[in-house]
Chain A
Amino acid sequence: MSNFQVIKKWLISMGSPPLFFMWASKFLSWFYPISFLLLLTGLIWGIGFAPSDYKQGEVYRIIFIHVPSAMLGQSVYLMMAIFGSICLIWRAKLAGIFLRSAAPLGASFTLIALVSGAVWGKPTWGTWWVWDARLTSTLILFFLYAGIIGLYSSIDNKQKGDRAASLISVVGVIIIPIIKKSVDWWQTLHQPSTFTITSAPSMTSDMYLPLLICVIGFYSILLSMLLNRLRAEILIRERNTSWVQKYLNNQVRE
């Protein structure tokens, strides 16, 4: 029980912008370089040294970017929904700031996944785009992100914008499974899917390991960028408080 209380106390203290800001700065000072290193290792190993595929040749190497960014696109939305419900239920200030910092990142990773998928599809499938169930639901996910970004950026009052965006991301995460299911149905109704990306060939460890490192690297670079954006947003929102003034004065002096 005491363990639980310690964690609870820490979580509540993290809800305070100055404490969170200081913690994030300290954390990023060592985590940012590590995440860069991980990402570089994964990409260089995957793109430069992993063996080429016996069927697809060198084109397959785009999965080292495509797969991690597609994963991030989906998990950022899930995170946004979790923090959105925290923002709606407990009105935690930081949860709303989190939402605002995460949405453009999620949107851009989804876009990277779409574009890299198209680039891969051209030589392998012979076409940039297929109305495949997965591609379609990724595209819809991108539209959902666009709606959220459009909503909060059109509301001048920042707290109101946070809560409106939280509400729509929570509603979205409930509807997303229905969208996915219905897009699958639509596929089977209209045409048999000509290409399946789901039945991936079992990879050798030479390909699997760099992919794993890429995924971990993408996740950690996402965390770093997210924390950095959070720090910037906190500074903007709290610009009139004394601790920000003090912090900025110290920065200038150093």
Chain B
Amino acid sequence: MSKRSTLPDWFMLILKRDLSLSFKKVATFIIPLVFFLIVITLFPLALGTENSLLSSLSSGVIWVAALLASLLAVESIFNEDYRDGTLDHLLLSGEPIFILVLAKVLAHWLVTGAPLLLASLVSTLFLFLPEGLLFPLLISLLMGTFLLSLLGALGAALTIGRTAILSAVIVLPLSIPILILGVAVIAAALSDESFFSYLYFLGAMLALGIPGLCIATTEALFINYE
């Protein structure tokens, strides 16, 4: 281990490790999906099954369910490594932690966030999403869930080893702009306007959020290890 690895090596190492670990446990990507679908099912039960009502609420309901599912899923991102001591070794390795965080979040998003997109396809049938909204819904969820994973990772790093609900209370108010912009994309598409301005804004938040939130998460990890 005398030779220091290059950044892409280190990134791929963590990414592959986390991916193969989560593929060994089917539960890691099944549970957020089932949670998402259960939340979706609760709404018709609470609001009634009238098609027009559900159809008008569908995009908002799908977004809220996706937000809750991805935040709750990412909550455990550091827990396993923290408990068995792997995280200590990774932090002491001298490799850039910034890259570690990015790779872990990406791996986590690939196994929990990306399947949510598929599940939202199913949920559009449950909630009678209006015609023509499928593409804006999917593209806004694609960008939004990755941002939510980054935010959730910050909350998870701050509250390592504590209750999940604390992390949710910290992170949920900060996730409001993502929700608003995600729903704005769909609302614009519904009224036949161009929704790309909102997508650009989501993209700008991603561009700022990837470095910014990774730095903050790194700092949060070190705060826990003093």
Q: Which residues of B contact A151 (CB under 8 A)?
A: 158-159, 166, 170
Q: Which of A150, A182, A190 contacts B166 (CB 8 A)?
A: A150
In contact, A160 and B166 (Cβ under 8 angstroms): no
- Is chain A's interface secondary structure helix, strand, loop, or mixed overall? helix
- Please judge, given known A-B contacts A167-B216, A168-B158, whether A147 and B173 are in contact too, CB under 8 Å: yes
- Chain B, residue nearest A146 (CB): B169
Instruction: List CB contacts (< 8 Å) of A139-184 with chain B.
Output: 140, 143-144, 146-148, 150-151, 154, 159-160, 163-164, 167-168, 170-172, 174-175, 178-179, 181-183
Cβ contacts A184-217/B at 8 Å (1 or 0 each): 0110011000000000000000000000000000
- Is chain B's interface secondary structure helix, strand, loop, or mixed overall? helix
Q: How many residues of B contact A (CB 8 A)?
A: 28
Q: Which of B159, B163, B177, B212 contacts A179 (CB 8 A)?
A: B177
Q: Which of A168, A182, A183, A185 contacts B170 (CB 8 A)?
A: A168
Cβ contacts B146-189/A at 8 Å (1 or 0 each): 00000000100011001100100111111011001101100100
In contact, B187 and A189 (Cβ under 8 angstroms): yes
In contact, A182 and B180 (Cβ under 8 angstroms): yes
- Please judge, given known A-B contacts A140-B176, A160-B224, A164-B158, whether A147 and B184 are in contact too, CB under 8 Å: no
CA A183 – CA B181 in complex, angstroms?
A: 9
Q: Which residues of A contact B183 (CB under 8 A)?
A: 186
A223 interface contact, C-beta 8 A? no
Instruction: List CB contacts (< 8 Å) of A111-151 with chain B.
Output: 140, 143-144, 146-148, 150-151
In contact, B224 and A167 (Cβ under 8 angstroms): no
CA A88 – CA B166 in complex, angstroms?
A: 22
CA A190 – CA B219 in complex, angstroms?
A: 38
- Chain B, residue nearest A153 (CB): B166
In contact, B219 and A88 (Cβ under 8 angstroms): yes
In contact, B223 and A182 (Cβ under 8 angstroms): no
- Please judge, given known A-B contacts A178-B177, A182-B181, whether A154 and B223 are in contact too, CB under 8 Å: no
Q: Which of A150, A175, A186 contacts B180 (CB 8 A)?
A: A186
- Please judge, given known A-B contacts A154-B159, A160-B226, A168-B158, whether A185 and B169 are in contact too, CB under 8 Å: no
CA A178 – CA B177 in complex, angstroms?
A: 7
CA A168 – CA B169 in complex, angstroms?
A: 12
In contact, B174 and A160 (Cβ under 8 angstroms): no
Chain A residues touching B, range: 20 to 34
CA A181 – CA B205 in complex, angstroms?
A: 13
Q: Which of A147, A167, A185 contacts B223 (CB 8 A)?
A: A167
In contact, A164 and B220 (Cβ under 8 angstroms): yes
In contact, B159 and A163 (Cβ under 8 angstroms): no
Q: Which residues of A contact B213 (CB under 8 A)?
A: 171
Q: Which residues of A contact B180 (CB under 8 A)?
A: 182-183, 185-186
- The residue among A143, A147, A150, A164 with the most chain B CB atoms within 10 A of its own CB is A147
CB B47 to nearest CB in A, in angstroms, measures 18
In contact, B177 and A167 (Cβ under 8 angstroms): no
CB A106 to nearest CB in B, in angstroms, measures 14
* B residues apposed to A, CB below 8 Å: 154, 158-159, 162-163, 166, 169-174, 176-177, 180-181, 183-184, 187, 205, 212-213, 216, 219-220, 223-224, 226
* A residues apposed to B, CB below 8 Å: 88, 140, 143-144, 146-148, 150-151, 154, 159-160, 163-164, 167-168, 170-172, 174-175, 178-179, 181-183, 185-186, 189-190
User: Can you report 23 residue pairs joining A to B where beta carbons are below 8 Å apart?
Assistant: A140-B173, A140-B176, A143-B172, A143-B173, A144-B173, A146-B169, A147-B169, A147-B173, A163-B223, A163-B226, A164-B158, A167-B223, A171-B216, A172-B174, A174-B212, A175-B174, A182-B177, A183-B176, A185-B184, A186-B180, A186-B183, A186-B184, A189-B184
